[in-house]
A and B are shown apart, each in its own frame.
Chain A
Amino acid sequence: MDIFEKQQRIESINGIIKVRWFIAVIIIGLGFLLKIKYFGWTSGFSGSSVSAYIKLGVFGAVAFGYNFIFWLFVRWLARKPIEKISDRVLNIMSVLQIIPDQLMFTFVYYNTGTVDSMSFVFYFISVFLVSSLYRSRGIILTGALAGFLYTGLLIIEYQGLIPHFNTYQGVTLFGSDYVIRGKIVTFICYIGVMTFVSAFLSNLIRNREKKLREKSDQLSGQTQKLTVQTQELTQTKNYLHEALTKSDKARGELERTKADLEKANLELRAKLDEVEKYGEVTTGRELKMIELKDKIRTLEQRITELEKDKN
């Protein structure tokens, strides 16, 4: 059982316990009322009215008693974390929601007059309740158990192994072959119908739930995948953002360096231009110097001539 199934099991058992309080009250109330003179309910829960009331009371106390124990136990279970509740405990608790009730129903059916009584209908309550706990197999087993208990009791009583109590004053169906045969065949057919209906509805509902759960699981998986994807994307985004910031910063710096370099370039060019212009000036002077040297040579010649003349 997975956690979800366990949760459903516990929820169902809790519900059945609640329903049982109510059913026990109704059945005992009905017994008390039918025992009054107006209904002529003679020897059902045999003996005088007082002893019958005491028997009914004891019977009710047993039902309340075991239901109280179930209630305490489930309350104790519900306090535990769900993973720690073992499947076996839940399976035992589930079976206990069916078998004690069926034994009690058999007991009531016997004491209220078997073939005379309508109370065979109680077995169907079990079949109804079991559809909230089990699938087809559990429901079919519940039906089989009900059929066995009902048939067993009728046959034992008919064979005279246990006495019969009349339900109504003056009239009884007990003792007729036809009644026994008819009742058993009919009951088994009814239990068959009820089992079928119960299993059908239980499966209908469980399939619906299964579909919903599958859809939920699928969505859950998708959500998880998307969450991981979103996280990864957020990381990538942050990484890219950081890289972009760094790149932008580096570009800014480069931009500045470029501007500096361009400025330096311009300055250098200006200086070079200047220097080259100066160079041109000096080239002019070079020519002048050659001229000067020529002149000096002429002057030297003149001086030499003049000195010759003087001498």
Chain B
Amino acid sequence: MDIIEKQQRIEAINGIIKIRWFITIIIVGLGFALKAKYFGSWGIGWGTSFISAYLKIGLLGTFVFGYNFIFWLIMRRLSRKDLGKINTKTLNIMSIMQIIPDQLIFTVVYYFQGTVDTMNFMFYFLSFFFAGSIYKTRGIILTGAISGFLYSAVTIIEAQGIIPHFNTYQGVTFFGSVYVTRGRIFSFICYIGIITFVAAFVSNLIKNREKRLRQQRDQLSGQTQLLTVQTQELIQTKDYLHEALTKSDKARGELEKTKADLENANLELKAKLDEVEKYGEVTTGRELKMIELKEKMKSMEERIKELEEQINKQ
């Protein structure tokens, strides 16, 4: 059993315990009421005297309340425990205990109220409601088999005269007719068949529905987890990209500044160079003049030489 199954099992058992309080009160109350004179003193069901009959019914009720109280205590203790620690065996035993003691009590009630005369064979069908909320098909079929066995056994043993019969109603009884015994047992088994089938159908319908819903939930849960991881990854990537972009922008800004600085520097350099070059052009003019001057000097020196020669000749 997985945790959800355990949870459901516990929930179902708790529900059955609650219902049992109510059913016990109704059945005991009904027993008390039917024993009243208005209903024909209810023949000799539960014995002839009122007081002993009421005591017997009260005792049986107390017994049921007793075991239901024990179940309630156990379940209360179980539900305090961690779900993972509750073992499957305990839950399986508790589940069976919701079916078998009730069926035995129903058999006792059925016998004391007058077997074939009474309507209370239908109590057995209550167990099917319970089994339907706890078990799947197999458990429900087994519950049916137990009911069939207990009912048939009591009816046959009584018909054989091994145990006495109590009339349900004053003055009239079905007991003693072989047709009644045959018909009742046969009908009961057929009814048990129908109820088993119906209970199994309802149980499977509900269990399948729940399974589908659970699958859907698990699928969605998986999807959500995946999306959460994906979102986290995306947020990381986004943050990383954002950081990278900020850095890149900053670096670009710096580059932009450097570029502007360089452009300025280049412009300044160019201006300087132009100036220098203009100066250079001026000096180039002088160069020519210097050559001129040198030539002039040469010619002057030649003239001086000439003049000196002429003077010397004189």
Contact = CB atoms under 8 A, between A and B. Distances in A.
B310 A303 contact: no
A201 B210 contact: no
Interface in A182-239: 182-183, 185-187, 189-190, 192-194, 196-198, 200-201, 204-205, 208-209, 212-213, 215-216, 219-220, 222-223, 226-227, 229-230, 233-234, 236-237
Contacts of A275: 273, 276-277, 280
Contact of A201 (B133, B201, B276): B133
Interface stretch (A54-62, A70-78, A89-97, A126-134): A126-134
Contacts of B11: 204, 208
Contacts of A219: 217, 220-221, 223-224
B58 to A, nearest CB: 18
B262 interface: yes
Nearest to A169: B179
B286 A261 contact: no
How extensive is the interface on chain B, given as a class?
A: 35 or more
Interface stretch (B63-71, B75-83, B90-98, B243-251): B243-251
Interface string B1-32: 00000001001100100110011001101100
Contact of B12 (A19, A26, A128, A204): A204
B304 A299 contact: yes
Contacts of A205: 133, 206, 210
B224 A222 contact: yes
B283 interface: yes
Contacts of A250: 252
Contact of A303 (B237, B265, B307): B307
A226 B262 contact: no
Scoring A34, A198, A223 by chain B CB atoms within 10 A of each residue's CB, the highest score goes to A223
Interface string A292-303: 110110011011
Contact of A268 (B121, B186, B269): B269
B60 interface: no
A223 B201 contact: no
A162 interface: no
A87 interface: no
A306 B304 contact: yes
B297 A295 contact: yes
A169 B117 CA distance: 15
Given A125-B194, A132-B202, A282-B287, A178 B183 contact: no
Contacts of A168: 174, 177, 179-180, 183
A46 to B, nearest CB: 16
A289 interface: yes
Contacts of B51: none
A99 interface: no
Interface string B40-63: 101000000000000000000000
A155 interface: no
A215 to B, nearest CB: 5
B276 A279 contact: yes
A204 to B, nearest CB: 5
B132 interface: yes
Given A196-B19, A268-B266, A237 B133 contact: no
Contact of B133 (A30, A204, A251, A276): A204
A38 B182 contact: yes
How extensive is the interface on chain A, given as a class?
A: 35 or more
Given A22-B197, A237-B237, A264-B266, A173 B172 contact: yes
A39 B307 contact: no
A70 to B, nearest CB: 16
A32 B88 CA distance: 46
A296 B294 CA distance: 9
B242 interface: yes
A171 B173 CA distance: 8
Given A19-B197, A244-B245, A247-B249, A124 B300 contact: no
A247 B252 contact: yes
Given A237-B234, A237-B237, A190 B119 contact: yes
Contacts of B121: 118, 121
Contacts of A265: 262, 265-266, 269
Interface in A153-183: 167-173, 175-179, 181-183
14 contacts: A23-B194, A39-B179, A41-B183, A170-B179, A171-B176, A194-B126, A205-B206, A240-B238, A251-B252, A268-B273, A272-B276, A279-B276, A279-B280, A282-B280
Given A39-B186, A173-B169, A230-B230, 8 more contacts: A38-B182, A128-B202, A171-B179, A181-B40, A193-B23, A194-B125, A208-B210, A264-B262
The 5 closest A-B pairs by CB, nearest first: A178-B40, A40-B179, A282-B283, A226-B227, A219-B220
